[in-house]
Structure 1
Amino acid sequence: MKPISLPLKKLVLNQLPNLEHIWNLNPDEILSLQDLLQVSISNCQTLKSLFPISVANHLVKLHVRACATLVEIFAAADAAINGETKQFNFHCLTSLTLWELPELKYLYPGKHTLEWPMLTHLDIYHCNQLKLFKIEHHSDEFADAENQLEEIPNIENLEVVCSSFTEIFCSQGPTTDCRKVLSKLKRLHLKNLPQLNAIRLEQSWVEPLLKTLETLEVFSCPTMKILVPSTLSFSNLTSLNVGECHGLLYLFTSSTAKRLGQLKHISIRDCQAIQEIVSKEEDHESEDEDEDITFDQLSLLFLESLPNIVGIYSGTSKLKFPCLDQVTLKECPQLKYSYVPDLHEFKPQEQT
Structure 2
Amino acid sequence: VGYGGLKHLKFSKMPELVGIWNRNPQEIVDFKNLEFLEVCNYSSNMKSIFNLSMASSLAQLQQLEIKRCNNLKAVVMEEEATTTTDDKVIIFPLLKSMIIEDCPNLTSFYRGISSPSLIQFPSLTKFEVSHCPNMTAFVSAFSRDKLAIIDDGTESANGDIHILTPFFCHKALNLG
Taking structure 2 as the reference length, the TM-score comes to 0.72
**Equivalent residue for 1:276, pick from 63, 66, 74:** 74
Q: Distance in 2 between matches of 1:234 and 1:208?
A: 8
Count, aligned residues = 137
* Structure 1 partner of 2:129: 329
Matched-pair identity in %: 24
Uncovered stretches (5+) of structure 2, i.e. residues with no partner: 138-143, 151-162, 169-176
Q: Distance in 1 between matches of 2:81 and 2:136?
A: 25
Over alpha carbons, which structure has the higher Rg? 1
Q: Distance in 1 between matches of 2:134 and 2:47?
A: 14
Does 1:208 pair with 2:31?
Answer: no
- Deviation per CA, 1:154-192: give whole Å up to 9, x if none: xxxxxxxxxxxxxxxxxxxxxxxxxxxxxxxxxxxxxxx
Uncovered stretches (5+) of structure 1, i.e. residues with no partner: 1-206, 346-352
Q: Distance in 2 between matches of 1:311 and 1:213?
A: 28
1:228 Cα shift?
Answer: 1.8
Q: Distance in 1 between matches of 2:103 and 2:87?
A: 30
Higher fraction of strand: 2
Q: What letter corresponds to residue 9 of structure 2 in structure 1? A: L
Q: Distance in 1 between matches of 2:2 and 2:67?
A: 29
Given that residues 119 and 167 in structure 2 are in contact (C-alpha distance below 8 angstroms), is that contact kept between their aligned partners in structure 1? no
1:250 Cα shift?
Answer: 0.4
Q: What letter corresponds to residue 335 of structure 1 in structure 2? A: M
The within-5 A match list for 1:1-352 is 207-209=1-3, 211-230=4-23, 231-232=25-26, 233-245=30-42, 246-286=44-84, 288-315=85-112, 316-317=115-116, 318-337=118-137, 338=144, 343-344=166-167
Q: Distance in 2 between matches of 1:229 and 1:300?
A: 25
With a CA cutoff of 8 Å and minimum separation of 6, indicate the structure with the bigger relative contact order.
Answer: 2
Taking structure 1 as the reference length, the TM-score comes to 0.37
1:314 Cα shift?
Answer: 1.6
Q: Distance in 1 between matches of 2:63 and 2:86?
A: 25
